[in-house]
Amino acid sequence: MNCRSEVLEVSVEGRQIEEAMLAVLHTILLHRSTGKFHYKKEGTYSIGTVGTQDVDCDFIDFTYVRVSSEELDRALRKAVGEFKDALRNSGGDGMGQISLEFYQKKKSRWPFSDECIPWEVWTIRVNVVSLANEQERQICREKVGEKLCEKVINIVEVMNRHEYLPKMPTQSEVDNVFDTGLKDVQPYLYKISYQITDSLGTSVTTTMRRLIKDTLAL
Amino acid sequence: MDTDLSSQDRKDLDKFIKFFALKTVQVIVQARLGEKICTRSSSSPTGSDWFNLAIKDIPEVTHEAKKALAGQLPAVGRSMCVEISLKTSEGDSMELEIWCLEMNEKCDKEIKVSYTVYNRLSLLLKSLLAITRVTPAYRLSRKQGHEYVILYRIYFGEVQLSGLGEGFQTVRVGTVGTPVGTITLSCAYRINLAFMSTRQFERTPPIMGIIIDHFVDRPYPSSSPMHPCNYRTTAEDNAAVYPSVEDSQEVCTTSFSTSPPSQLSSSRLSYQPAALGVGSADMGYPVVFAGGLNAAHPHQLIVPGKEGGVPLVPSQSPHATQADQERMAMCTPLDGAHYSAATPSSSEDTETVSNSSEAKSGSPHDILETIFVRKVGAFVNKPINQVTMANLDIPFAMFAPKNIELEDNDPMVNPPDSPETESPLLGSLHSEGSSGNSTGNTHDDFVMVDFKPAFSKDDILPMDLGTFYREFQNPPQLSSLSIDIGAQSMAEDLDSLPEKLAVHEKNVKEFDAFVETLQ
């Protein structure tokens, strides 16, 4: 199957990186998470309830909605924190991208390991700017807030195209489609990775990490 | 597969659409309450969380939505609309957004109702949650309080977008195809607000006159009246007036099947037949809601939140309501009655209604005047000095009169008989453009507006640092430096010289003694 790929671009100031990334990632995961499945007999299952909460950004005039799951929030914050540190440490002109990839696992026969087949990839390209004074920062707060509003509208538009989604799995297959490790919500299997472009902007260098949900461990 | 919808599927679909409409209204209204919403996830299905989302049901809102629907469902030409508007403490109101839930004729016969449609409706609700935080009205609603409140109104029928002004924008939240039609959820929002930063509402008085089109009479007098509901009614009132959701709530589907359709019968939904549209007349609803009054009193969601007030938790609402009444009563004496709809007790609200259309009298303008002391705009009819002198004990007042005389006579600053409502318009408009200016040249005929010196606080009425600086930038010239005066006195000096010399000669001895002390 073809993997759907969406790219979003934002320009932010250094201290806005985390909040901007979290806003976008949480908005995507809000749409790509369901309640916990509880399988019953006869192949039926019931779905738990997903709560939501508003999060105000401190450095951006923006509020986003995320699922009420502290575990998920922690996982995303960890990933975004590492991305931010990598961006800061790279020197260069502060450009990078973070990718959120939804995938399905396909069992392979021994000795081959399971395949991870992505079905949707969201890439957020980040350009870090530095600002000279408080007035510029204030303008940046508002501008980035408006930009994030546009990004949310873009995300919602893609989500509502109702394009390919993995079939609802049977009980034995659920771990190939969903991340069942969280206790209150069940997002589709996902992984987050990031890349920092070097100052030449030509090739991708160095850091390429698989942060969470790397299922290749044998 | 049979393309006709089975009766069970049809029933399910109708139920889904009905509860989707109710939940849509809840999400929209809750997003405009002015506070952050937080609900908890639950891994065990409770059976009452429609679409697997934890969306609270505010009973009053559900009641209004059911009343608007009146047992019908959105269909072609019959859309469910939620109108969000802003009402200032002066009594002016302005439509901000219209959220529309529409149905068109494009059917998707192949889609599975109890599964795919349900999940897609759930996704659409999540999208709605995200989009409601993104339109301009969200930030306004978070800052509502003393100067304005956000109101909602639900109506069913034709979508009416004329109140949004020119150039409104539309955002589509999403669509879901069903065997009976395609459900579309979208929002049309006013964009004039984009030119007014939300800071305007924090610091400046109400925006009367900025949006010119909102003085137009409502084009749809026959549609449902707006309601000044305050959802924070006490628990007792709720039980008495509104049917609590649980009574008529139908158990929502939480069981799905991964098996082929033939086995779906094992996971049918169970529901209790509930009376749709519980008659409002039976519930002792305040008279004002049933009437066809045109006076605008939309559903009002009072949130004192930002002003450090009352937490919006139902258990605390008795205190909250009273505090809110007091607070609202303080903000504008005339309009205090507007916001006293803390409980839907009929007597209070009837008074509110009758006062609302007459509330606009002269005194709001008086209030406007005093508040506007600080805002100086070009062509403002009220010279700033006049106001400041009258109200203030300013330092160096003796030097000020010179400036007053000049400006009083200056027609540019003091145009005759301009209506007062223009001043906030001009003042606010100019403040948008001139906030970046840093120096003023008071020799010009134009008075510099909105000079904002850094780090100066505006809260000490009525003189601020900027005004002070402007006024005293041109002190009067020293007399000794003035050439005219010097020329005139030259002749006099020459004449008086001999007399002075004589006087000095008399005091020679004193001068000598003085000189000796210096040595």
3-class secondary structure per residue, B232-253 = CCCHHHHHHHCCCHHHHCCCCC
| pLDDT on residue A170 | 86
How far apart CA B173 and CA A160 sit, in angstroms, is 8
Q: Strand locations in A107-171, DSSP E?
A: 115-129
| pLDDT on residue B145 | 84
Q: What would the pLDDT profile of B272-293 be if each residue is shown by its tens digit?
A: 333 333 333 333 333 333 333 3
| pLDDT on residue B22 | 93
Q: Strand locations in chain A, DSSP E?
A: 4-13, 33-34, 37-39, 44-47, 52-56, 63-67, 95-106, 115-129, 186-187, 190-197, 204-205
Strand order in the sheet with A44-47: A37-39, A44-47, B255-257
CB-neighbour burial class of residue A194 (10 A; exposed 0-12, middle 13-18, buried 19+): buried
- Residue A204 distance to chain B (closest CA, Å): 33
C-beta separation of B51 from B57 below 8 A: no
Q: Does B142 touch chain A (CB under 8 A)?
A: yes
- Within 8 A of B173 by CB-CB distance, chain A residues are 156, 160
Cβ atoms within 10 Å, residue A173: 16
Tell me if B256 and A69 make a contact (CB, 8 A cut-off). no
Buried b (16+ CB within 10 A) or exposed e, B276-312: eebebeeeebbebbeeebebbbbbbbbbbbeeebbeb
How far apart CA A156 and CA A172 sit, in angstroms, is 31
Its ipTM equals 0.90
| CA-wise closest residue to A54 among B315, B305, B101 | B305
Torsion B6-B12-B15-B19 (CA) sign: negative
Between strands A44-47 and B255-257, the pairing is antiparallel
- Upper half-sphere CA count for residue B122 (Cβ side, 13 Å): 28
| CA-wise closest residue to B304 among B322, B277, B281 | B322
* Residue among A31, A51, A149 whose CB faces B127 most closely: A31
Q: Does B120 touch chain A (CB under 8 A)?
A: yes
Q: Which residue has the higher pLDDT, B28 or B413?
A: B28
Q: How far is CA B281 from CA A93, B18, B278, B332, in A?
A: 67, 22, 9, 33
* Residue among B45, B171, B255 whose CB faces A48 most closely: B45
| pLDDT on residue B491 | 75
How far apart CA B194 and CA B183 sit, in angstroms, is 29
Distance, CA of A139 to chain centre: 27
How far apart CA B513 and CA B193 sit, in angstroms, is 82
Tell me if A36 and B43 make a contact (CB, 8 A cut-off). yes
| pLDDT on residue A11 | 92
Angle (CA) B289 B290 B293, round 5°: 75
The DSSP element (H or E) to which B172 belongs, if any, is strand B169-178
* Residue among A34, A65, A69 whose CB faces B133 most closely: A65
Most confidently modeled range among A63-67, A128-132, B506-510: A63-67
| CA-wise closest residue to B83 among B185, B186, B155 | B155
Q: Which residue has the higher pLDDT, B460 or A162?
A: A162
- Within 8 A of A185 by CB-CB distance, chain B residues are 41
| A-interface mutation test, from B134, B138, B193, B201, most A Cβ less than 10 A away | B134
How far apart CA B332 and CA B327 sit, in angstroms, is 10
Tell me if B256 and A68 make a contact (CB, 8 A cut-off). no
| pLDDT on residue B258 | 60
| pLDDT on residue B162 | 85
Residue A18 reports pLDDT greater than 50: yes
Q: What would the pLDDT profile of A55-105 be if each residue is shown by its tens digit?
A: 999 999 999 999 999 999 999 999 999 999 988 887 667 789 999 999 999
The tokens of A15 are what? 């201290």
The residue type found at A27 is T
Q: Which residue is it, tokens 């020459």? A: B494
Provide the chain B residues 33-52 that lie in CB contact (below 8 A) with chain A. Answer: 36-46, 49, 52
Q: How far is CA B54 from CA A168, B51, B138, B200, B416, in A?
A: 22, 9, 21, 35, 60
Q: What average pLDDT does range B60-79 have in this prediction?
A: 89
Ordered by start, the domain boundaries in chain A are 4-208
How far apart CA A151 and CA B252 sit, in angstroms, is 33
How far apart CA A17 and CA A140 sit, in angstroms, is 12
* Residue among B46, B263, B267 whose CB faces A49 most closely: B46
Angle (CA) B404 B408 B414, round 5°: 135
For A158, nearest residue in chain B (alpha carbons): B174
Q: Which residue has the higher pLDDT, B166 or A177?
A: A177
Residue A15 reports pLDDT greater than 60: yes
- Upper half-sphere CA count for residue B98 (Cβ side, 13 Å): 23
| DSSP output for B247-313 | HHPPPPP-EEESS-GGGGGGG--------SS--GGGGT--HHHHS---S---EEE---GGGT-----
Torsion B302-B305-B308-B310 (CA) sign: positive
pTM above 0.95, yes or no: no
| pLDDT on residue B324 | 42
Whole-number percent of chain A with pLDDT over 70: 89
Q: What average pLDDT does range B404-429 have in this prediction?
A: 44
Tell me if B43 and A155 make a contact (CB, 8 A cut-off). no
Q: What would the pLDDT profile of A102-120 be if each residue is shown by its tens digit?
A: 999 988 777 777 788 999 9
Tell me if B175 and A63 make a contact (CB, 8 A cut-off). no
Average pLDDT of chain B?
63
Q: Does B370 touch chain A (CB under 8 A)?
A: no
| Phi-psi domain of B104 (left: phi exceeds 0; alpha: psi -120 through 50; beta: other) | beta
Tell me if A157 and B120 make a contact (CB, 8 A cut-off). no
The tokens of A187 are what? 């997002």
Residue B353 reports pLDDT greater than 70: no
* Residue among A49, A50, A160 whose CB faces B175 most closely: A160
The DSSP element (H or E) to which B95 belongs, if any, is strand B93-104
- Residue A199 distance to chain B (closest CA, Å): 34
The tokens of B128 are what? 């709605």
Q: Does B251 touch chain A (CB under 8 A)?
A: no
Tell me if B120 and A162 make a contact (CB, 8 A cut-off). yes
| CA-wise closest residue to B137 among B215, B206, B192, B89 | B192
| CA-wise closest residue to A157 among B131, B379, B404, B428 | B131
Residue A202 reports pLDDT greater than 50: no
> Three-class SS of residue A183?
coil
How far apart CA B53 and CA B125 sit, in angstroms, is 8
C-beta separation of A68 from A187 below 8 A: no
Per the DSSP assignment, residues forming a β-bridge with A11 are A127
Residue B99 reports pLDDT greater than 90: yes
For B267, nearest residue in chain A (alpha carbons): A44
> Three-class SS of residue B17?
helix
| pLDDT on residue B451 | 61
